[in-house]
Amino acid sequence: MSHDDFEIEPVEGLPERPPEGEEILWQGRPDWWQLTWEALSLPWVIGYFVVLALWRFISVVDQMPLGQAIGATVPFIILGAIVTALLCIVGYVQARCALYTVTNRRVAMRIGAALTMTLNLPYPQVANAMLDLRRKGTGTIAFETMGDTRLSYLLCWPHVRPWHINPSQPALRCIPDAEKVAGLIADAARARVTQPRIVRIAAPGPADPAVAAE
């Protein structure tokens, strides 16, 4: 019998239905190839095996015929291809299991392949948001949180800003149309932070509670 790990989600990407007044503005996933290329350092891995193959060829080319020298480099090329394929699989699974949600009140990140969790970042708890825009419109939006909010770099990886470990910065990694999404977040955060909250306070004496804005 088939089983969907996310079938208990009332709304895909969110652990519960949004409260009244909260609207979903955007949902999306990382571009799996870009995520593999950046987060899993694919070009460095490919370069490493290319260097090994060249080193092996140069070291034996003067000791054996050309055909045999080329054959001596084949194991390194095969090993590099296997590692590259495994990294691509990891990148695809990480991108497929992630779902980012932007609402008019928060940014929610459902992340994790083996251990799935959802991060909620209300706009009042976000001190700053940084956009790293790449070619073809993909990019990463990282969030600097305020107060005592601390997130584990390892648990959130690869959905974090690279090399920012303490404190870590959760990020919408390698998303398409990153500039457009950043604009949605900026507008929603600006409206949310400046929106007054209405609370009830107890009036002195037997009078009914008064209503004040803060």
pLDDT tens by residue, 35-71 = 999 999 999 999 999 999 999 888 888 888 888 888 8
Residue 102 near residue 185 (C-beta atoms within 8 A): yes
Residue 145 near residue 126 (C-beta atoms within 8 A): yes
pLDDT value of residue 197: 56
State mean pLDDT over 9-31.
Answer: 87
State mean pLDDT over 11-19.
Answer: 83
d(CA 47, CA 41): 10
pLDDT value of residue 59: 86
pLDDT value of residue 135: 81
Is this model's pTM higher than 0.85 or not? no
SS3 content of the chain, % helix, strand, coil (to 5): 40, 30, 30
Task: Of 28, 36, 75, give the one whose Cα is nearest residue 55.
Answer: 75
Greater confidence (198 vs 172) lies with: 172
Lowest mean pLDDT, pick from 44-48, 130-134, 151-155: 151-155
Task: Of 134, 113, 132, give the one whose Cα is nearest residue 171.
Answer: 132
Greater confidence (166 vs 6) lies with: 166
| Helix H or strand E segment including 69 | helix 66-97
Greater confidence (167 vs 48) lies with: 48
φ, ψ of residue 170 in degrees (nearest 5): -60, 150
d(CA 27, CA 62): 58
Lowest mean pLDDT, pick from 133-147, 162-176, 188-202: 188-202
Greater confidence (193 vs 188) lies with: 188
Q: Which domains, ranges and CATH numbers included, belong to the chain? A: 24-194 (2.30.29.30)
Percentage, residues of the chain above pLDDT 90: 53
d(CA 141, CA 6): 25
pLDDT higher than threshold 50 for residue 6: no
pLDDT in tens, 89-113: 999 999 999 999 999 999 999 998 8
pLDDT higher than threshold 70 for residue 3: no
Residue 170 near residue 209 (C-beta atoms within 8 A): no
